[in-house]
Amino acid sequence: MFGGIFAHGSAIIDDRAWLQAMLDAEAGLARALERAGLAPAGTGAAVTKAARAEDFDIAELGELSALTGNPVPGLARELTRAVGGQPGRAVHRGATSQDILDTAAMLLARTAIDAARADLAAAAETAADLALEHRAALMIGRTLLQQAVPVTFGVVAAGWLAGLDAALAGLTQVRDTRLAVQFGGAAGTLASLGGDGVRVKALLAEELELADPPLPWHTERLRIIDVGTAMARVTAALSKVARDVTLLAQTEVGEAVEGASSQGSQGSGAPDRAGGAPRRGGSSTLPNKSNPVASVAVLGCARQVPGLLATLVASAEQEHQRAAGAWQAEWQPFGHLLQVAASAASWGSELLGGLQVDTGKMAANLAAAGGLPLAERVTALLRNALGGPEAHDLVATSVAKAATSGVPLRDILLADPDLEDKLAQAGITQAGIEQALDPAGYLGAADDFIRAALAAHHA
């Protein structure tokens, strides 16, 4: 029912994906045992051929898991039966249930990370294009949701870019260094394989293209937390973009909106009353609505992540060589975190790819502010003539008058006879006031910051 929102994109981390990942771990182990000379030739191929999720009953495995505390024993039995003969005897040899489930978790993490990386890279590239294209597009900067000083949309997009690039770097670091095979046997010593355990572990890592850790990590859960944290950083960076877009897309603001090109094949809105084709952003009752669906979806995914990550962190306290409850508590939140983070990345790529920026509306909103966003600059101009406190109070009074009367700040300032005398004594002319109220002249290092973000992105 909710997959269109929370299972968006190419990475699907569901029960079937978990099952296939566990089967892949079992098949990789069979191939490793054969390479180590501990299973007959052809064993790896036979187990790999039988390890297809579509040939197993997920519901039945779920019922069996209630007897053993996890789904692996039932799966190992079914896989052994499916392989049959001498090759079937190699299934699950040397492994314990946690080896298979933890290794499957790493395989799923790789799938989700790879999908998220591709989508984040596309989103970052679009953000870079937006920063470059709109580096001079003036708009109101807003702090605490109130108008502050002028900025450019280019520097806003550059801020998005920096966050996306940082999230992407974190994903890459985890992908390259923290995804490792789990293989320790009953209590982390691989005793059942005797002197061959370390070699089989290394071969298993090769077969699955995962790192070979120095030792098993059954109750050392930092890898799980690192994956979760990297994915949480993805949703954090994307939620910043999505929240900005929802605010800029408000009817009364209208400075940026999601465009038709961001719709993609998986999204749809409410059908019209005549039963026509659904459209992205449609309302079930209001024909006038065009909702920011991609932004809302990103935010809906992102809001779930802190609680999921908290569960993973809380579960890191695990007893001795296998946890009683904490390990089991990881399974669903780990998979769900991977899913919603990858989904957010897919939505984020669509969001930025179809974003429509209205620089005319940005300029109009800035102009309609009547010079108030330049109050700080005017205060700085008057400080030398009047002193800091008096300049601040005078401008604050003028701003209040402008806000309540709708008269531009320039006119309020120039209509004050007391101020006119003080400005004249200080050599500040009307032209100087008007120059101070020009937003294009009060952008500080905005362009430098854009250049720096682009340089870092392309480095």
Out of 297, 326, 361, a domain closes at 361
Residues 415 and 295 both lie in one domain: no
Q: Domain ends where: 341, 361, 381?
A: 361
pLDDT, residue 382, reads: 86
Phi-psi region of 42 (alpha: psi -120 to 50; beta: other; left: phi over 0): left
One-character DSSP codes across 278-302: --TT--SS-TT----HHHHHHHHHH
- Counting residues of the chain whose pLDDT is more than 70, the rounded percentage is 93
Whether residue 113 lies inside any domain: the answer is yes
Total residues belonging to the chain:
459
Annotated catalytic residue 283: yes
Kindly state whether residues 250 and 185 are assigned to the same domain.
yes
Gyration radius of the chain's alpha carbons: 30
Active-site annotation holder among 77, 89, 322, 383 = 322
Q: Is residue 271 in a domain?
A: no
List of the chain residues with pLDDT < 70: 260-289
Residue 147 counted as domain residue: yes
Contact, 212 vs 202, CB < 8 A? Answer: yes
380 and 354 together in one domain: no
The answer to the question of residue 156 being in a domain is yes
Residue where a domain stops, chosen among 361, 390, 425: 361
CATH number at 93 reads 1.20.200.10
Distance between CA atoms of residues 207 and 201, nearest Å: 10
The pLDDT value given to residue 417: 81
Please check whether residue 140 is in contact with residue 368, taking contact to mean a CB–CB distance below 8 angstroms.
no
DSSP output for 383-414: HHHH-HHHHHHHHHHHHHHHHHH---HHHHHH
Same domain assignment for residues 431 and 348: no
Which structural domain, as residue segments, surrounds residue 429?
372-436
Residue 128 falls inside a structural domain? yes
CA angle (360, 366, 371) in 5-degree steps: 150
Q: Are 107 and 18 in contact (CB under 8 A)?
A: no
The CA angle 7-159-223, to the nearest 5 degrees, is: 50
pLDDT at 262: 44
Kindly provide the b/e burial profile for residues 115-125, where b requires at least 16 CB atoms within 10 angstroms of the residue's own CB.
Answer: bbbbbbbbbbb
Same domain, residue pair 202 and 242: yes
Residues 351-374, buried b or exposed e (16+ Cβ, 10 A)? bbbbbebbbebbbebbeebbbbbb
Name the packing angle between helices 326-353 and 293-314 (round to 10°): 160
Query: Do residues 409 and 342 both lie within one domain?
Result: no
Task: Classify each residue of 266-277 as buried b or exposed e, where b means 16 or more C-beta atoms within 10 Å of its C-beta.
Answer: ebbbbeeeeeee
Say what the pTM is.
0.92
Q: Are residues 388 and 315 in the same domain?
A: no
Model pLDDT for residues 106-159, shown as the tens digit of each residue: 999 999 999 999 999 999 999 999 999 999 999 999 999 999 999 999 999 999
Whether 120 and 11 map to the same domain: the answer is yes
**Same domain flag for 129 and 224:** yes
**pLDDT for residue 35:** 98
* 322 included as an active-site residue: yes
- CATH number where 417 lies: 1.10.40
Residues 184 and 326 both lie in one domain: yes
Q: Is residue 429 part of a domain?
A: yes
- Whole-angstrom distance, CA of residue 71 vs CA of residue 62: 6
Q: Please, are residues 335 and 328 in contact by the beta-carbon 8 Å criterion?
A: no
Q: Do 382 and 352 share a structural domain?
A: no
Domains: count for the chain: 2
Catalytic residue among 10, 192, 261, 283: 283
Residue 430: predicted pLDDT: 87
Q: What contacts 244, CB < 8 A, 6 or more positions away?
A: 156, 160
Write out the H or E segment, with its range, that includes residue 141. strand 138-143
N- to C-terminal Cα separation, the chain: 42
Same-domain check for residues 88 and 143 = yes
Which pLDDT does position 281 carry in this prediction?
A: 61
The span from the CA of 395 to the CA of 279, in Å, is 49
Residue 281 lies in a domain: no
Dihedral (Cα; 100, 103, 104, 106), 10-degree rounding:
170
